[in-house]
Chains A and B, each alone.
Chain A
Amino acid sequence: MTTQPNLAPPAAAKPRSRLYRMWDSDIFFSFRRSPVTIVAAIVAVLLIGAALLAPWIAPYNPFDPSSLNLMDGFTPPNSQSMMGNYFLMGSDHQGRDVFSTILYGSRVSLFVGVLATAFAMLIGISLGLTAGYVGGKTDAVIMRVADIQLSFPAILIALLIFGIARGIIPPSKQENMALWVLIIAIGLSNWAQFARTVRGATMVERQKDYVSAARIMGVHPLFILVRHVLPNVMAPVLVIATIGLALAIIEEATLSFLGVGVPPTQPSLGTLIRIGQQFLFSGEWWILFFPAITLILLALAVNLLGDWLRDALNPRLR
């Protein structure tokens, strides 16, 4: 076979600062070279930043009933209501500023998305590491469960978990716990992808001789898993986590759209779209349009970053 030219950099290169080395690394090189990725990163940072800073930059507090006025209702974008209030993206039926509800809504969407992904990652990585390292029956059982999970759409599993939670938790507490139920439901419906990837990578890594070397020295298996194997399986996990975040945000929006997601007191982007849908056909398009665009941009930006990350970490695909 043809051997790829092996260009090891000269070992005695001048030491540069860590920051420079990062900037100069292949990953950032591919980042600098991809305008789409740069735009996606900027969009993602803007959207996430705006969501985090919502209380400070939102012109109105849409959830303060005292500030709401039904007379403000249905104001078109970029105009003033009869009450003299200016609405950049218009207002909804209750007179809430759409721009402000989007800022707060993105906050809820991101909160759920990030925590759900983190939860899925935690389960997936621990099960994947265990399955890959221990092997045998443990592996077979874990992977069979993961297979089953993967073949059911996440939305169905999330719906089921949600339904179960609704049946178990007393109604009085449901509203307080809804957000957490949602996070757990989405997390539990997305762990399998992590588990599979981590398990595959772990099986490769544990065959490698640096693991054998550690075993010869009598290093504790847990230490081997955490210090040796885990850092080496993180690259694909990072890719899945990014794409998983986009999926989780979409999943949350879908559940909220179906009316089984976040409570109405904390509307997410999906809830806003559900509300907006009622007015789409009567001409008040902005109530749906702006939350929908925000959701799409957010998911698209995160997906684009994930896509770039996958290509950058796996140079064979280029």
Chain B
Amino acid sequence: MNRDGEGTALEAVGLGKRYRRRRGPVLQDCSFHLPAGRICALVGPNGTGKSTLLALAAGLIRPTEGTLKVLGTTPARARERFAYVAQAKPLPPQLTVAATLRLGAELNRARWDREAAERIAYGPVYANPYADPYGEESGSAYGDMHGEAAADPVPGVGPGVGPNLVPGVVREGGLHPRDRIRSLSGGQRTRVALALAFGKRPELMLLDEPMADLDPLARRELLGALLGEAAEHGTTIVMSSHVVAELEGVCDHLFLMGGGRIRLGGDPEQLLAAHTLLTGPARDLSGHTVVESHGTGRQLTALIRTDGPNSPPTDGWETAAPSLEELLLAHLRNPEAPDLFTEETGGTGTADMTDVTDVTDVTGEENARP
């Protein structure tokens, strides 16, 4: 089992993927490194290769160039140790929920955790009749859900009563074993797909837009379950999303995709600390790494990196810390901003800038928007 700071979950070197029927590569010269034990958000606009990257990591497609190591080996060799949930949450429509979980058990005979899978599919009360393994131990949202469940018990569902014994009683959000997959909503299918992932007890979860179809309650419950899994077992979690806010505050690692590669990578707090939002009278910003600047008349607002020789500037600028969303949107609007990777090397290490040799010193005027 991977622990924080030990091992590498994903390592890409010069990764490229080109589809035959598509102009231009989806991924190009993509290199990054994800330490094991992180909860990583993979964000970026639609069509920037998030799904392609996850499918490559899951060994479903082959890269056209470069290499991608998963848990220190090839995706095919790591197959038993990671779980993958595709964006469309494909499940055999003719099966029931119970049969789908049996399928997970049969296809993962060496490592199936039935209880973990059923807890996700049927909700906490159903599948956890005897014990409360997550209990009070964590302050995660999962624990909160348990609190709610305990405070508001489903009538007739006492300890030791399995889901099959209580026909017609379904916990909010939870599924019934005999529900057919084809009758489920998108969010409910997500729940089943995640249940398969949990049942596998993987070292790494690759989740493509796992939260997209979920209602806020289910999102809270399942995010909490993911955090609980990561906390308890050191599971590395990679979740893609095109909604930045969805994963803010959840992840301790962030990859921003754009232009077929990872443009920002690292701890979100360190990424934020490496940027400053400046407001002040319009003037020359050369000497700073400007991600984005726009001004109205004499007033200029700019997002700069705090890595320059004379950063952060003090001369008459109002400085502010950008929000994560501002930071990411600024990079998305400005594809020419240099890539940035922060690497935690223990403690409160300073941002380790890479790939700043070709810094385009964008001046305020050049990048100003009228």
A binds B: no
A residues bordering B, Cβ < 8 Å? none
